[in-house]
Amino acid sequence: MRPALGRLFTPKDDQVPGGHSAAILSHAYWQTRFAGEPSVSGREITINGHPFTIIGVAEAGFSGINLANAAQVFVPMMMKAEMTPGWNCLDDERCRFAQVFGRLRPGVMREQAQARLQPSFRALRERELTDSYFARASDYTKRQFLETRIELAPGDQGYSEPRGPLTQPLWLLLAIAGGVLLIACANVAGLFVARGLGRQREVAIRLTVGASRWRVIQPLLAESVVLASLGALGGLLLASWGTTLLLRLLLDAESSVSVTGSPDARVLAFTAGVALATGVVFGLVPAWQVTQPSLGATLKDQSLGVVGGGPVRLRKALVVAQVALSVLLLTGAGLFVRSLRNLAAQDPGFVTRNLVSFDVEASLSGYSGAHAQQFYKTLVERVSALPGVTSVALTLGPLLQGEQWSSGMTVEGYAAEEGEDVRVSNNAVTPGYFETMGIPLLSGRDFTPQDARLTPPGEGELSWVDGFSIAIANQRFVDVYFEGKNPIGGRVGFGGDPGTPTPIEIVGVVENAKSEGLREDVRPQLFFPFLESADPMRATVHVQTRQAPEAIFPLLRRTAREIEPDLPLLNMATMERQVERSLRGERLVAALSSVFAALATLLAVIGLYGVMAYTVMRRTREIGIRMALGALSSRVAWLFLREAVSLVLVGFGVALPVIWALARYVESLLYGVEPLDPITIAVAMLGLGVVAAAGALVPAVRAARIHPLMALREE
């Protein structure tokens, strides 16, 4: 990467902790915040109360290595303490916070580099085992620690935590879009067959006078490729608008995800390849069929009475394929919609109505220790006094965002088996939290204002969790680790090694509530007094109101500015909105799969209608003869309707084993419904059958209304 302005960091800019106040702006931030001012180098900006000198601007298009959190300002690693107050980590080699990127030398494969790094990695682990941290570790834990292997992952697309959960749904959506493309192509191929049959006499004459089959196929194939290319261009125009809309639905307004909807060279190449492939494949087969006429019958103009033949069978096979794909897409859409409905109907265990939440981080404004405790106390008092507010509570971790703090725990009286990871989800809350959230207290007591650290320890004396002396457990924790015994008075401690002290007393039990997400099962959880923390750095504020939640947003912002003018309030939203955000991935898959399934059904019905209408046209003479001999109109209509129904049923038969084979690939994306759910499959087939019957009814009725004299005169 080259700088767009000024210079980039050098090793001299990153040597001494806290001694390098240099900053590089991202190109996008330079344009939006400084209007692309060329003289920005040398100016000062203030970050977390610390002055930094701008030394350069990064190359356009580069916004860091984390696509889920685009960087706007880059600072040297040695300035971490200033960037994350209270969480330095530069003085603790066991603190994991950095993503390491390296470029391989020419000719070195990733697997080779990984094998060469493993001995050094194991030596590092062996040295760490001598640390006091492992003084009480079991032999099993030590063996597992030493057997850990380093793994190098491809770094060409950066690092992004959301990529994992989104990978499978996005591949699925790509497959669904591919299914719609196949149905559309089958429709176009059917139209080519019909058009080619109308040109059979012309083709027969060309072949008779000596034209080669390839010479005849060429213009037909060129027409197919041109149509596919025009469709691809139209698709790109829609994509540039549609992906922007999808990103707005998927991402929050405050999100800093560096993903755009603009097609790049790879997307253009992919689209061109798909257009060429579909144009050739779905144009070549019909063209090949059309260039194999019966020359004698065609030249005598007797082919209009022929019912069967390869081209007609091909069109029917294409309809069967369209029906089968439509059933697949309708079934998938039904499963995803039902999953979304099941998730939305889930009881999270807390009240969401008239509840507002937002995040604050006092440490970014210079608060720490006792000053941070006092800041949060003042914030609760001032917000509680606002009109319409019924209760206020703080938590360390936000709900339903997958950011809960978990740790290994030792439970007094519970004998963990070798290799068992007694891992508990934790949170720190203020008094009144359970009342604010509507979580019932089942036994024991709630936290009180007296449950606070009176004498915060000096720097370096205790970690931020060492001050906790009491805890409240959820019912799931009691069921797992107390097995029917009274948990009140039970004791726990942080860490899972043998001999770990258990100084924390359980003083209460609350009902289960989901914390990680609606899809996750309730986990064993412990709650600790928020103000017993040695250094409460950040908090999520929950506010219960009597009025419409959105009406209190301006009051909350004004109150926070009165306490600390530079303190930002992040992620302010109603809890109902937070629940919706937690389901946006499922909502996106359900919505898009439903749209694609509806489009696929429409295309399949159009294809069926086209085949039946063409069949009626081809059999006009036969219909006239039948009607002249006394056939009833209803019998003639049923003749064609029955043929359409048979095509649909064959499509259903093809779809069922495919659904069974693909079930395991979508199972992990479902919730509360089986991938082979008979009701969903039956509804999909019934819906498609009804629509298909309606589409086939039009040409069937048209056939029944043909007058025999008109048919025979036309013949």
For residue range 586-633, what is the model confidence (pLDDT) as tens digits?
Answer: 888 888 889 889 988 888 888 888 777 777 777 777 777 777 777 777
Mean pLDDT value across residues 136-144: 85
Mean pLDDT value across residues 410-429: 85
pLDDT greater than 50 at residue 573: yes
Claim to verify: residue 469 and residue 328 sit in the same structural domain: no
Claim to verify: residue 296 and residue 318 sit in the same structural domain: yes
467 lies in a domain? Answer: yes
Claim to verify: residue 339 and residue 404 sit in the same structural domain: no
Claim to verify: residue 335 and residue 398 sit in the same structural domain: no
Task: Identify the three-state secondary structure at position 59.
Answer: coil
Q: Please give the C-alpha separations between residue 284 and each of 190, 291, 302, 515, in angstroms, as whole numbers.
A: 12, 11, 26, 56
Neighbours of 399 (CB within 10 A): 26
Of 52-56, 80-84, 392-396, 518-522, the one with minimum mean pLDDT is 518-522
pLDDT greater than 80 at residue 409: yes
Alpha-carbon gap, residue 90 to 83, rounded angstroms: 12
Claim to verify: residue 150 and residue 170 sit in the same structural domain: no
Given pLDDT bands bounded at 50, 70 and 90, which one contains residue 302? very low
Given pLDDT bands bounded at 50, 70 and 90, which one contains residue 257? low
Task: Identify the three-state secondary structure at position 413.
Answer: coil
Claim to verify: residue 149 and residue 176 sit in the same structural domain: no
Q: What is the pLDDT of residue 183?
A: 85
Give residue 486's domain range: 355-547
568 lies in a domain? Answer: no
Claim to verify: residue 452 and residue 518 sit in the same structural domain: yes
Mean of pLDDT over the chain: 83
Claim to verify: residue 514 and residue 614 sit in the same structural domain: no
Claim to verify: residue 299 and residue 369 sit in the same structural domain: no
Claim to verify: residue 202 and residue 252 sit in the same structural domain: yes
Residues 6+ apart with CB under 8 A from 98: 77
Specify the pTM. 0.78
35 lies in a domain? Answer: yes
pLDDT, tens only, 367-393: 777 788 888 889 999 999 988 899 999
560 lies in a domain? Answer: no
- The torsion of the CA quartet 617, 622, 623, 626, rounded to 10 degrees, works out to 180
566 lies in a domain? Answer: no
265 lies in a domain? Answer: yes
Claim to verify: residue 458 and residue 531 sit in the same structural domain: yes
Q: What is the pLDDT of residue 122?
A: 93
Asked whether the beta carbons of 648 and 608 are under 8 A apart, the reply is yes
Domain count, the chain: 4
Alpha-carbon gap, residue 684 to 369, rounded angstroms: 60
Asked whether the beta carbons of 220 and 191 are under 8 A apart, the reply is no
